[in-house]
Amino acid sequence: MLDRYRRAEALHISRHDSLVHRATVIPNWEGDSFWYRVSTPDGPECFRVFPETGERRRIEDPGGEQAAPPEITGVQTSPGGRYTVAVRDDNLVVNDEFFTTDGEPGHDYGLPSDQGKPPIVARQAGMSAPPLVEWAPDGRRFVTLRVDQRHVPTLTMTQSCPPDESPRPLVHTLHYEMPGDPLPTFQQMILDAETGARVDIAIEPLPFTHDSPLGLKRVWWEDDDTLWMLYGTRGYKAARLYRIDARTGAAEVVLEETNDTIMKSSPTIVEFPLVRARGDEVLWFSDRSGWGHLWLYANGELKNAVTEGEWLVRDLVHVDWDAREVFFVSGGHGSNPYYRRLCRAGLDGTGVTVLTPEDADHQIAASPDGRWFVDTYATPAQPPVTVLRDATGGIVTELERADLTALEKAGWRAPEPFTVKAADGGTDIHGLLHLPADFDPSKSYPILDSVYNGPQITRQLRTTLRGFPIDPFLLDPAGGAPSFAQLGLAVVVIDGRGTPYRSKAFHDASYGDPAVTVGLEDHVAAIRQLAAERPYLDLSRVGIAGHSGGGTATVQAVLRHPDLFTVGVASAGDYDHSGYYAIWGETFQGPPPQDYTAGSPLPLAGELKAKLLLLFGEMDDNCHPAMSLRVANALIGADKDFEMLMVPNATHGYGPAEAHVLRRQWDFLTRHLIGQEPPADYRIDPTFGAAK
């Protein structure tokens, strides 16, 4: 096993930059050209590209010294750099002068509710939350907010190992709204950084439903005098669009739509909204037709559907109001429903043109004027290729081809995509199968389900989440499946019913089912089908492992399907949604009143037959430790054997303890799923190679 551990460590996601080269291109536009930086085995290289001619020229790195991000400094800077905004003593400070003076704890300016703030230990280490502001085009005025959470119940956390190494534990209290609780509220105002003038927006205090609209790009300026805000009501049953006069603060509801389940303004509630507005026209996203599509409104009245069909709009790339067309990314125009394609449509609904012919997943970045598109496309079997396209989809020039030489040398092998039937026997579900470098089809391999059961994200497709590209075709940053495979496991990654990026019906399968039992049934069905087709998959040795929602799915799986799953590693789960953030249960079960204990695994504790490892952080103020300890308490009450590791000072990720936690997972799977003893005294480099 020693060599297997070494190979697993070599393919940890932290090694991405040293193993994967020329795979990611992020364009920085400057006038009629752009530059980008790309990794190579010999270090970064920079190129400037001139789209009109297709010229690509090697240049010196123009990036210069990178300024510390707002998440470190706690400061937001205006366009042009004339003004800085920070929060001090619960008040707003502009260019080091107090702009407000009546802020107080729990009723402060500029910051989100406690739910959206950095973890306690991050703040202890010096991280400051930047204020939530959106600057007007004039670079002088900005919209911000004041939060009131004084009425919200609190959560108490004990820090056993304080940073000052005191033997006396610290006690921390934060506002933590659970389903049915009173929610924090916010009010918004517009401040003039030059004059100090303040305009309060004439909208009653609104409850937080998933952070603040300001933190989710749901507030934007059309011009210096017009502001828009998109708001999701409690339980996300409705989306409401306000138009605000920035001179007076007057606000009107221009458009509102309700849904019997979740009124999404993008394919998932964690993405930026696919809504745009100009003047009296609104480009609106809705899945009312059964698929996520675009609709055009004028003066609050529907004019026409812009897109339609059994596929969905995944992202808005560029809206040209004058030319009356929109460029967007679709999902479903290919052999795999999750592959994205660049498309164009007329705002009058005259039709959709697919602009990228390659049957692959396309990650698109547009020029500010919408004339040019940087497209990085890939499949599990085809490494990323980056090209520059014009507005017709034609390739102007090829920019990069990924170099995976070092990755393959480290033992990585491309995952195998598969399609099987869901537990209903008719619905197609998709996934990836990761096998070890020394895979031999004549041998038998234990199966590990690397799980995240939704319902707000997926596991086996490339996506861009809040500006960050995620590529599970390579090193799988969400679950590390290629690394686990090197232990000698066949690792499956599956997105069953109840997860997003398919039809409304496919996603709604998890609504009102907080345990997402239908999705777990699909995992069971998929694993059995794969084993029937592949004799090297050993159905007598099936494990499951996941973090956060994946931890929850793991506990649910071993309790609800003990005939299949014999080993589980559950990390930092939100096991009983009645004790988790209100946003979760209220969105996926409905606003109160509801029975938010429904689907809890606690009453099933007596069904445990599998070997189970529970992992969590003592300072996790997301899936707080009481959630894991309640599972432990139920298992103890049922007199069941299990293992547990609580990590001091760890938040929802394990930080400096990550290497130890990962090694404990490997050891557990090696003993109980593979059936061997772990290598003695093996230690994963706690810096994951960063110290070399």
pLDDT, position 73: 87
Contact call for residues 514 and 498 (beta carbons, < 8 A): no
pLDDT digits (tens, 9 = 90+) for 231-270: 999 999 999 999 999 999 999 999 999 999 999 999 998 8
Contact call for residues 109 and 91 (beta carbons, < 8 A): yes
CA gap 681, 74 in Å, rounded: 42
pLDDT, position 72: 82
Look at residues 540, 541, 502 and name the one whose alpha carbon lies nearest to residue 522: 502
CA gap 376, 543 in Å, rounded: 34
C-alpha distances in Å from residue 661, one per residue of 265, 360, 645: 37, 36, 8
pLDDT, position 515: 83
Torsion of CA 492, 498, 499, 501, to 10 degrees: 130
Write out the E strands in 20-177: 28-30, 33-38, 45-50, 55-59, 76-77, 84-88, 91-94, 97-98, 134-135, 141-148, 154-159, 170-175
What DSSP element (H or E) covers 631? helix 625-637
Superfamily of segment(s) 2-16+406-674: Alpha/Beta hydrolase fold, catalytic domain (3.40.50.1820)
pLDDT, position 210: 78
Torsion of CA 568, 569, 574, 578, to 10 degrees: 30
pLDDT digits (tens, 9 = 90+) for 629-670: 999 999 999 999 999 999 999 999 999 999 999 999 999 999
Taking the model in full, what pTM does it have?
A: 0.96
Map out the domains of the chain as residue ranges: 2-16+406-674
Q: How many residues does the chain have?
A: 692
CA gap 25, 400 in Å, rounded: 8
Intervals of the chain under pLDDT 70: 65, 466-468, 691-692
Write out the E strands in 259-358: 276-278, 281-286, 293-298, 301-305, 312-320, 325-331, 340-346, 352-354
pLDDT, position 2: 97
